[in-house]
Structure 1
Amino acid sequence: MTRTYNDVSAKIRETIVEHMPKDAEITRIEFEGPRLAIYVRNVNLLSEQSYVVTEIVNLLHKRIVIRSDQSIRLPEREAEGYIRKLIPTEAEVTGINFDPSLGEVVVEAKKPGVAIGKEASVLQQVVKETRWRPRILRAPPLHSKIISSTRHILHTESEERSRILRDVGERIFRPTFSKAGYVRLVTLGAFREVGRAAMLIQAGDSTVLLDCGINPGAQDPSHAYPRFDADEFDLEKLDGVVISHAHLDHCGILPFLYKYGYDGPIYCSEPTQVLMTLHQLDYLDVHSREGEHS
């Protein structure tokens, strides 16, 4: 009998509810990208979640995170006030940014160890007082407009981001429809040349694009971009894009996919996310300047 997405979803939720503490006060369980997010009203579980979810992780073999229900979180301004009082001034906090879609608050500090506190004592206090999950990052030595813009977008578009995470999560946790015993690799660029890296990987009912680059030095436009005109490439059937690193020959043409209708996820490391955006904007700036003088 073929299992449906609803069958898989119901079984996962049943397992979580069965093994969570009775006083967790679960409000909802969401598939958020590669993680299962459990929203609770019991604030104590936020600081003790590593102990709580271990058994469930071993049963489901999934990444699980516990988040606070939106109804118990302090308003952002009030929460920021508590955070600035709780974190020692010696930590030299330079920025506090809230991410409503995840119930997280990102705190940048020049001395992150001081901000975390001995045995994470400061973090636990922040959780109990604000009901937001803190992430402490080392403050960058220079101000980055890219990072600031990214965080601003994450905040203002939190509802849209939540929708995207749920959609991607449903794709990731969907049941396997076919067990193909093969993997097909279609090269759209980068082989027998330097630049425009793009490999289409097909396995059963999944299609993933590994890298999406340009050849900055190409004189002929037909050699500058991946062969998206190949018969095997269908944008509507693309399940995801994986970017290996931030060089333009691996990520330079990525925005092109969204311009022409791609609405799926991109998988990359956090540093790659910021660096490739910087490189793409820089490439556009240089290209436009050259165009003005040509």
Structure 2
Amino acid sequence: MRARGHRHRPPQALQGQRHGDRAARPTLALPGRLRDVRGRPRLPPARRRGVHRPERAPSAHPRAPGPGLSAVPVDVVPTVEAATPAALDGATVLVIDVLRASTTIVAALRSGCAGVLPAADPAAARRRLAGLPPGRGCLAGERRGEPIPGFDLGNSPLEMTPARVQGRWVVLTTSNGTRALLAARRAARVGVAALVNLGAAAAWARAGGRAIVLLCAGERGRPALEDQVAAGLLVERLLGADPAPAPTAAAAAALALARPYRDDVARLAIDAPWARRLADRGRAADVRACLALDTTTLVPVYLTDVDKVLAGPR
């Protein structure tokens, strides 16, 4: 059999055949199941694109992870003083002050207050109150755990009853918690987390699709055990998501610290130094209220453009 002529080149011999006076072309060494180059018996469909093409190993990921599948980082900052602009820029931040500002803010919003207005100090709080219509606001806060003279309320979740705050703006200043809120203003999203809304806060942070920073208020520049435990339990909830976030070393350390308290956060009333000091000052009921787990789905959201904390999704 002769090869058909070609417009631009002379006919070529097929494998194992002569063409004119030329030597026969050598026969290729073919796989045992292949009788000729026309493919009989036929190759499986997956291998028809070329006999000599090496097979590729199957991909570990059938499809490349897109933006919705890539893991976001989750970090824990132990105190307000440790927060850096680089850590907060563009992130979703949850501010944590278990004893007591975070829990107090949640309680005020649950009782129907118009919103919470954070203030850096008592003087700033009074200025914010002066800007509200008469009767539409109240002052709340503490310094070193004690009520501020002349203020309407302390920093107590038990004081945030509907009779006192419903329909009113609560102007709040505290030693650590409101400082943490104000420090988080450069973040993309800011929420307030406590033990009482832990699961809801984790879901809110996860829904943002951004890097997550758990900003603990601490106690006058030192890490507070109750805040670290709440942060660690939040990390645990976040790791149950799909895809799970990528915890930093600080987040992993907080998770390890929190695990012994997973089923008994009330132990913090004994183990946390600040909880013991509050109890010694006659505020054991406040401590018990703050150490309740997942009693509400309300997540306070700090709207930094208007400097107000409002009730978020439930």
Q: TM-score range by the shorter chain?
A: under 0.3
Higher helix share: 1
Higher strand share: 1
Structure with higher Rg: it is 2
TM-score normalised by the chain length of structure 1: 0.22
Higher relative contact order (CA 8 A, sep 6+): 2
TM-score normalised by the chain length of structure 2: 0.21
